[in-house]
């Protein structure tokens, strides 16, 4: 892995991030007993050496969250109950000093080794920076290193999240007042969607890669004739590496949003038709199609969720994300005049399952 946190950030930014990692290590070692702590790793863009560099004036500033995995032996459920609150407090205290969010996720190495392949775990195992430990701790995780094994429902999850961002951006664009903070929010979510659309195409072709730069190189090969797709992805990669705060007008952003939403609709239907073996030509076809949209989730898990969270939509045999998929498609592509209450309900359920 790269010895750097960013591709071209200043020496001062690199030092700032290195010192933060030392502070994180010291804090984690105070909280987790030595015999329980298996390792500590920085994931995300900075862990992969492709962290965002926000350039303001003469300074390079961090932009992305710092995402740390704390590997603790034993039951992850029990470790969550025992250490999650303390790690959250540590993250909050460091976040104010660092200027970006510092987040912790608790996991055990044994659970990682036996977990099924996902885009999330592929990115973690292939692109990371050890703060405590080394790559020998990932022995037995070879199944997470093969991008061709990432299931298509992972691509659906990615596009679902980024299209939800487009939906939230549409809500901001429709407000009576449109502030500079709203412009930045919309611009940021457009950039994330641009990147995700190309990443989904790569995942469908079995060619996803942990590096956003390598993903773009591969997309240029497999989608050479689709200049619109490649151009959007290039803009997404550029924003990921060198984010900016959007100062565009509402009308400019609305035009970009409309074009990108149309492309996202096309890719979403292509993905879902391939994943589920269905034929839906329009968003309405997708919503009315009775096929189980989350067949990868076992029945016992759906029933357990229903018992724990009363009042959820759909039958106990269906995973609640199916309802969210239908709502997203309806709100973003078929009925754009949703009232505030409907959007609030969608947002609450989205936060519950993400």
Residue 341's pLDDT band, with cuts at 50, 70 and 90, is: low
What distance in Å separates the CA atoms of residue 206 and residue 149, rounded to the nearest whole number?
7
Residue 58's pLDDT band, with cuts at 50, 70 and 90, is: confident
Give the residue-averaged pLDDT of 131-158: 97
Q: Express each pLDDT in 179-218 by its tens digit.
A: 999 999 999 999 999 999 999 999 999 999 999 999 999 9
Yes or no: say if 42 and 21 are a contact pair by the CB < 8 Å rule: yes
| The pLDDT of residue 48 is above 90 | yes
Least confident residue range of 47-51, 162-166, 312-316? 312-316
Strand-pair partners of 107? 71
Give the residue-averaged pLDDT of 324-345: 79
Which residues have a Cβ under 8 Å from the Cβ of 13 and sit 6 or more positions away?
5, 6, 53, 60, 61, 62
What distance in Å separates the CA atoms of residue 149 and residue 141, rounded to the nearest whole number?
13
Q: What percent of the chain has pLDDT over 70?
A: 92
- CATH placement of domain 11-145: 3.30.460
| The pLDDT of residue 1 is above 60 | no
| The pLDDT of residue 337 is above 70 | no
What distance in Å separates the CA atoms of residue 64 and residue 70, rounded to the nearest whole number?
19
Identify the pLDDT of residue 162. Answer: 96
Give the residue-averaged pLDDT of 157-165: 95
| The pLDDT of residue 286 is above 80 | yes
Least confident residue range of 15-19, 272-276, 305-309? 305-309
| The pLDDT of residue 245 is above 80 | yes
Identify the pLDDT of residue 225. Answer: 85
Return the DSSP state at 136.
G
Domain residue spans of the chain: 11-145, 149-352
| The pLDDT of residue 240 is above 80 | yes
Identify the pLDDT of residue 2. Answer: 61
Q: Express each pLDDT in 224-238 by its tens digit.
A: 888 999 999 999 999
Yes or no: say if 115 and 131 are a contact pair by the CB < 8 Å rule: no
Which residues have a Cβ under 8 Å from the Cβ of 304 and sit 6 or more positions away?
none
State the DSSP H helix or E strand holding residue 289, giving kind and residue range, or none if neither.
none
Which residues have a Cβ under 8 Å from the Cβ of 38 and sit 6 or more positions away?
71, 72, 73, 108, 109, 133, 137
Mean pLDDT of the chain: 92
| Beta carbons within 10 angstroms of residue 116's beta carbon | 10
What distance in Å separates the CA atoms of residue 83 and residue 296, rounded to the nearest whole number?
30
Count each helix (H run) and each strand (E run) in the chain, helices first. Answer: 14, 6
Identify the pLDDT of residue 313. Answer: 58
| The pLDDT of residue 96 is above 90 | no
Identify the pLDDT of residue 348. Answer: 72
Please classify residue 315 by burial: count the beta carbons closer than 10 Å to its beta carbon, then call 0-12 exposed, 13-18 middle and 19+ buried.
exposed
Residue 178's pLDDT band, with cuts at 50, 70 and 90, is: very high
């Amino acid at each position: 892995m790269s010895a750097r946190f960013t591709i071209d950030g200043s020496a001062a930014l690199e030092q700032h991030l290195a010192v933060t990692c030392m502070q994180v290590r010291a804090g984690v070692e105070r909280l987790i007993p030595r015999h329980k702590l298996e390792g500590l790793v920085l994931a995300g863009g900075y862990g992969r050496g492709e962290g965002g560099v926000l350039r303001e004036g003469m300074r390079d500033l961090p932009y992305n969250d710092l995402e740390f995995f704390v590997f603790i032996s034993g039951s992850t459920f029990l470790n969550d109950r025992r250490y999650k609150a303390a790690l959250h407090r540590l993250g909050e205290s460091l976040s104010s000093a660092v200027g970006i969010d510092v987040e912790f996720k608790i996991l055990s190495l044994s659970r990682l080794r036996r977990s099924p392949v996902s885009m999330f775990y592929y990115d973690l195992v292939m692109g990371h920076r050890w703060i405590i430990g080394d790559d020998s701790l990932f022995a037995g995780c070879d199944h997470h290193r093969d991008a061709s094994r990432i299931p298509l429902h992972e691509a659906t999850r990615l596009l679902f999240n980024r299209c939800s961002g487009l939906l939230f951006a549409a809500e901001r664009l429709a407000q009576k007042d449109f502030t500079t903070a709203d412009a930045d929010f919309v611009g940021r979510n457009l950039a994330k969607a641009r990147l995700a659309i190309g990443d989904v195409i790569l995942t469908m072709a079995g060619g996803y890669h942990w590096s956003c730069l390598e993903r773009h190189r591969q997309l240029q090969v497999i989608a050479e004739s689709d200049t619109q797709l490649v151009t959007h992805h290039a803009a997404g990669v550029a924003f990921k590496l060198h984010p900016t705060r959007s100062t565009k007008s509402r009308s400019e952003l609305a035009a970009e949003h409309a074009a990108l939403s149309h492309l996202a609709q096309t890719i979403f239907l292509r993905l879902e038709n391939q994943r589920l073996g269905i034929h839906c030509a329009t968003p309405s076809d997708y919503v009315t199609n009775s096929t189980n949209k989350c067949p990868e989730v076992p029945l016992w898990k759906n029933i357990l969720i229903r018992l724990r969270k009363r009042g959820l939509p759909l039958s106990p045999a269906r995973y609640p994300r199916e309802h969210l998929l239908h709502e997203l498609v309806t709100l973003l592509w078929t009925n754009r005049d949703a009232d505030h209450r409907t959007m609030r309900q969608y947002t609450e359920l989205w936060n519950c399952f993400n």
